[in-house]
Amino acid sequence: MKRRTFVKGAAAVSLAAVTASGREAKTLPKQAGTANILEGREFFLDIDYAPVNFTGKRAVATAINGQIPGPTLVWQEGETVTIHVTNHLKKSSSIHWHGIILPAPMDGVPGISYEGIAPGETFTYRFKVRQHGTFWYHSHSGYQEQTGMYGAIVIKPKRKEPFAYDRDYTIVLSDWSDEKPTSIYRKLKLSSDYYNYNRRTVGDFFSEVGKKGFTKAFSDREMWNTMRMSDRDLSDVTGYTYTYLMHGNTPATQFKALFKKGQKIRLRFINGAAMSIFDVRIPGLKMTVVAADGNHIKPVTVDEFRIGVAETYDVIVEPKSQRAYAIFAQSIERSGYALGSLTPSADKLARAPKMDKPQPLTMADMGMDMAKVGSQKGMKMPMKPYRWKAMEAQKYPVTPLPMATGPQNTMKAMSPKYRLEDPGVGLRNNGRRVLTYADLKNRYSTRHAKKPDREIILHLTGNMERYMWSINGIKYADAKPLLFHYGERLRITFINDTMMNHPMHLHGMWSDLESGDDNHLVRKHTVLVQPGSKISYRVTVDAKGAWAYHCHLLYHMAGMFRKVVVV
Q: Can you give the binding site for another protein, defined by CB under 8 A?
A: 91, 141-143, 181-182, 185-187, 189-191, 194, 197-203, 225-228, 406-410, 463, 465-469, 475-477, 558-559
Spell out the residues 6+ positions from residue 351 whose beta carbon is closer than 8 angstroms to its own. 326
Give, in degrees to the nearest 5, the angle at Cα 58 between 56 and 64.
115
Closest CB to another protein among residues 19, 409: 409
Q: Name which of 54 and 185 has its Cβ closer to another protein.
A: 185
- Min CB(466)–another protein separation in Å: 6
Nearest approach in angstroms of CB 550 to another protein is 11
CB-nearer residue toward another protein: 32 or 477: 477
**Around Cβ 567, how many Cβ atoms within 10 Å?**
10
Q: In what order do the strands lie in the sheet with 242-246?
A: 242-246, 167-177, 265-271, 312-317, 287-292, 295-302
From the list 153, 240, 162, the residue with the least C-alpha distance to 194 is 240
203/400 with CB nearer another protein: 203
Which C-beta is closer to another protein: that of 91 or that of 454? 91
Taking the least distance from each CB to another protein, the nearer of 225 and 322 is: 225
Residue 229 vs 564, nearer CB to another protein: 229
C-beta of 4 vs 466, nearer to another protein: 466
Question: Could you give the CA distance from residue 523 to residue 293 in angstroms, rounded to a whole number?
Answer: 7
Residue type, 256: K
Backbone angles phi, psi at 5, to 5 degrees: -90, 155
CB of 317 to another protein, least distance (A): 37
Q: How far is the CB of 115 from another protein (least distance, A)?
A: 14
Query: Rounded to whole angstroms, how far apart are CA atoms 341 and 331?
Result: 17
Q: Which is nearer to another protein, 202 or 383 (CB)?
A: 202
Cα distance between residue 99 and residue 97, in whole Å = 6
Minimum gap (Å) between residue 141 Cβ and another protein = 7
Among 432, 233, 425, smallest CA distance to 328 is for 432
Q: What's the min distance (Å) between Cβ of 112 and another protein?
A: 13
| Residue 471 beta carbon to another protein: minimum distance, rounded to whole angstroms | 12
DSSP assignment, residue 474?
A: B
Separation CA 404–CA 144 (nearest Å): 31
Q: C-beta of 475: minimal distance to another protein in Å?
A: 6
Contacts of 67 (CB under 8 A, 6+ apart): 5, 7, 12, 35, 36, 151, 248
Residue from 107, 74, 440, 37 nearest 247 by CA: 37
CB of 468 to another protein, least distance (A): 5
Instruction: Answer whether 123's CB lies under 8 Å from 107's CB.
Output: no
To another protein, the closest distance from the beta carbon of 145 in angstroms equals: 11
* Least gap, CB of 558 to another protein (angstroms): 3
Q: Please name the amino acid found at residue 450.
A: K
Name the maximum alpha-carbon separation found in the chain: 69
Task: Check residue 56 and report its DSSP letter.
Answer: S
Q: Decide whether 411 or 541 has the Cβ nearer to another protein.
A: 411
Query: What CA–CA distances, in Å, run from 213 to 203, 219, 226, 377?
Result: 14, 10, 20, 14
169 or 467: CB nearest another protein: 467
**DSSP label of 434:** B
